[in-house]
C-alpha cells in the first residue's frame, strides 16, 4: 500500500501536472471504484483544480465549487500519466481523468478491487473522511508522546493505526522501528522518555529520507514503480538477509497477509519474537535467541 513517502511524491507530480488545470472529463472504466452517488461524478467536469492534499493515505484533489475527489489507492492502486495517444491498459484501468495538460489514469493490479473514489462537497464532508491520525512530520515531541501513549498498543500496531498516526503502514513502520532500535512488540505505554524521543526522531528521519529517495528516483515524471519493497531498505521484506547495521539475519513475524520484519540483535536484545504458527509447530525446538541460529 502506498504510504506517506509514495503519496507525497504522487502529490508533487500532481502539483506539476494538474494544479490550475481544468478537469475536462472523467471516464469511469470500472464502476466499482466510485463509492458515492451524490454529488454525481459528472459534477466535477469543467472545474479547475485549486488544490492537492493528503488525507491519511488518501489523495485529495480539490476543485472549484468546494468539490473534492478523494482517492484511496489501497494495496495495488497506482497513478499513471498517459503519454499523448497512449491507450489505457484494459484489465487494470479504473478511471481516466482528462485534463487540459494530459490524462491521469488510476490502475489496480490483481483481481481484487479495493481502491476507492469518493466525490464529496464541502470541507465538513471531507473532514468526516479523515481518520484523525497525527501528522508525524509536523508533530512536536510532546504531541507525538501524547498520541503514542493515548492507548497501550504494541509499537507496530500504534504506528500503523490511521487513527493515531497519519500515513504510516507496514513497510515504513518496520524501517522506523529498526532505526529507533525498538522492538515491534514493545508496548507504547511502557516506553521511557529517551525511547520515545528516539522513536520520534526515527519517524521523521525515515519518512523524509525515503520521500527524497523516491522523488529522486522518479525524476520529473510519475513514479514508474511504486512498491513496499526496496533493496535499500534495512529490514522490510528482507527476511533472512543480513541487517545492514550488525549483519545478523533479519527475522519476521507473519500474521494474516502481513509480516513484521526486524533485527533481533539491534531491536530485541537478541531475542527472537514468537511467530504463533511457527512456534506452535516447532514447540521446544523454536529458537529463542539469535545466538541459537548462529
Confidence of residue 271 (pLDDT cuts 50, 70, 90): very high
Q: Is the pLDDT of residue 153 over 80?
A: yes
Question: How many CA atoms lie within 13 Å of 148's alpha carbon, on the beta-carbon side?
Answer: 27
Beta carbons of 96 and 27 less than 8 angstroms apart? yes
Beta carbons of 99 and 15 less than 8 angstroms apart? no
CATH number of 141-293: 1.10.8.50
Per-residue pLDDT tens over the stretch 51-103: 999 999 999 999 999 999 999 999 999 999 998 888 999 899 999 999 999 99
- Equal CATH topology for 4-127 and 141-293: no
Per-residue pLDDT tens over the stretch 167-219: 999 999 999 999 999 999 999 999 999 999 999 999 999 999 999 999 999 99
Domain locations along the chain: 4-127, 141-293
CA gap 74, 96 in Å, rounded? 18
Buried-state track 75-114, b at ≥16 Cβ within 10 A, e below 16: bbbbbbbbeeeeebeeebbbbbbbbeeebbbbbbeeeeee
Q: Residue 117 belongs to what H/E stretch?
A: strand 116-121
Longest dimension (CA), the chain: 67
The superfamily CATH assigns to domain 4-127 is MutM-like, N-terminal (3.20.190.10)
Amino acid at each position: 500500500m502506498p504510504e506517506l513517502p509514495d503519496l507525497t511524491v504522487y502529490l508533487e507530480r500532481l502539483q506539476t501536472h494538474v494544479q490550475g488545470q481544468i478537469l475536462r472529463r472523467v471516464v469511469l472504466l470500472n464502476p466499482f471504484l466510485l463509492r458515492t452517488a451524490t454529488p454525481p461524478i459528472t459534477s466535477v467536469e469543467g472545474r479547475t483544480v485549486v488544490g492537492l492534499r493528503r488525507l491519511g493515505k488518501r489523495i485529495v484533489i480539490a476543485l472549484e465549487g468546494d468539490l473534492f475527489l478523494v482517492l484511496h489507492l489501497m494495496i495495488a492502486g497506482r497513478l499513471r500519466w498517459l503519454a499523448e495517444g497512449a491507450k489505457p491498459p484494459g484489465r487494470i484501468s479504473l478511471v481516466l481523468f482528462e485534463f487540459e495538460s494530459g490524462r491521469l489514469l488510476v490502475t489496480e493490479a490483481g483481481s481484487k478491487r479495493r481502491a476507492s473514489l469518493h466525490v464529496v462537497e464541502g470541507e465538513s464532508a471531507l473532514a468526516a473522511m479523515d481518520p484523525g491520525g497525527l501528522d508525524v512530520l509536523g508533530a512536536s515531541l510532546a504531541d507525538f508522546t501524547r498520541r503514542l501513549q493515548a492507548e497501550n498498543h504494541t509499537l507496530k500496531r500504534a504506528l500503523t493505526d490511521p487513527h493515531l498516526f497519519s500515513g504510516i503502514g507496514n513497510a515504513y513502520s518496520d524501517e522506523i522501528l529498526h532505526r529507533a532500535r525498538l522492538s515491534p512488540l514493545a508496548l507504547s505505554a511502557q516506553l521511557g522518555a529517551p525511547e520515545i524521543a528516539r522513536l520520534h526522531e526515527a519517524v521523521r528521519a525515515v519518512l523524509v529520507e525515503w520521500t527524497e529517495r523516491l522523488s529522486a528516483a522518479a525524476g520529473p515524471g510519475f513514479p514508474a514503480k511504486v512498491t513496499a519493497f526496496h533493496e535499500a531498505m534495512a529490514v522490510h521484506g528482507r527476511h533472512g538477509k543480513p541487517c545492514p547495521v550488525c549483519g545478523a539475519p533479519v527475522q519476521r513475524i507473519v500474521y494474516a497477509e502481513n509480516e513484521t520484519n526486524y533485527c533481533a540483535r539491534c531491536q530485541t536484545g537478541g531475542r527472537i519474537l514468537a511467530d504463533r504458527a511457527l512456534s506452535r509447530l516447532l514447540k521446544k525446538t523454536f529458537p529463542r535467541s539469535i545466538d541459537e541460529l548462529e
